[in-house]
Structure 1
Amino acid sequence: MTEELFREDSYLKECAATVTRAADGAICLDRTVFYPMGGGQPGDSGVLRLDDGSEVRVVDTRKDKDTGDILHIPAEGETAPAEGAAVTAVIDWDRRHRLMRMHSCLHLLCALVPGAVTGGNVSDGKGRLDFDLEESPDKEALTEKLNALIAADAPVGHSWITDEELAANPDMVRTMSVKPPMGQGRVRIIAVAGVDTQPCGGTHVARTGEIGPVQVAKIEKKGRMNRRISVALMSG
């Protein structure tokens, strides 16, 4: 199983690693800073740099649910390094940071909208959440409230609880469509001080002020009890 360095430090941009497997269109490492697609957040892209200075471009990152290995997907035509090769895994940091900012922003959105989350997606520079709501909130007012929480620059931290502790506190789970990352014996909790606390395996900024100004771009009615709220970053 790949050691997931990003779970403890979302700001790691690179790490030394060893190739443990390179087959079936994927490269596995003993440790990595690459986040695999999950929880509505896309997988990281970047490069694997070899000792001779050559690079293998990674266009996506997934997780093998059977083995727990993280699969670094090389670009078409790239030659995978041999098993046992030493590499430096380097993520596309600018893209990752935008994903971190948006993922944290969606946690703030969760805190402001009184409804269970029925779906969601984090994208580069934008994101959305679907809520179990009958009435749509006011777009301008919601934008103002979001930016106020961001400007408050509250700290964002993580901790771990056991699967049993989460099971005993079901109100911590806001998402109806995505199951919390359970099954490993412990669950990662993301807490925005004084604002929001919920289980999440994604990557996040250290303080809300780092998100920067945002705008609620659209609120759509997707069903009698479903409202889709789309948010965009206002700066790159």
Structure 2
Amino acid sequence: MSPGTDIELSRARLLGARNTFALSRDAIEAIRSATRFKVSYLDVCRGEVPIIFRHYAVVRTSKVSNKIKEVVHDKKTNEARIHERAVESVQEDQTDVWEVQGFLRDTPETPASWVYDNASAALSSFAYLLMNHLGISLQTDKTTDLSEVLTQMLFACGAETTDTVPRMPLDDNDVEAAELAALAAKAIEAKNTGTSTGTRKRIAVALYEHGETNIRRISSLTGLARDTVYKALQDEGIKR
């Protein structure tokens, strides 16, 4: 994720959850003072809005000063003495936080989010929202094997079996054309999901570098103003 906007987006998501203050004080402080978020996620769509399970590695950096002792010799007398000096180093601390996004009866149209500093609690909420969203029978007093839920999801998508041999997909289309088409799809998805301006600028630059030189089309795909597209290209040293 880029510094700046995406940090603020992650922070806003976590601090805007419906149960933020159920987090530990340490987790809340880590979110507020984070210098970087590393985010991985799983989303499951049935309809327009997905159920999402996000893991945030909340990273804080700080400078640590340590004193070291060393032996120095006087240039004239060669007399040895102990010299103490301070050495600074950068330390990183990581706090793990999970976010679950989905729907409840009181939020049928707008997705809500819940956050946890415990992976098991987050998974429990994700399982509830996911199974409820997919119409799978819920038994809240029994342990659920989510691999069975995955099986039902695959069957709902038209799969006939879950037993298969993994094979690398092969490209039939021109590779460059396929990459450009994939970037165009990524740009539309970023625009429609409200992805940060910084991310959409990077997509705009990638589109140009992969052969899409029509600024009006890049603007349309990404949802960025044409002046913003020109500025993004200029910032990357691309002259038109």
What range is the shorter-chain TM-score in? under 0.3
Query: TM-score, normalized by length of structure 1?
Result: 0.25
Structure with the greater relative contact order (CA < 8 A, sep ≥ 6): 1 or 2?
1
Query: TM-score, normalized by length of structure 2?
Result: 0.25
Q: 1 or 2, which has the higher helix percentage? A: 2
Who wins on radius of gyration, i.e. which is larger? 2
Q: 1 or 2, which has the higher strand percentage? A: 1
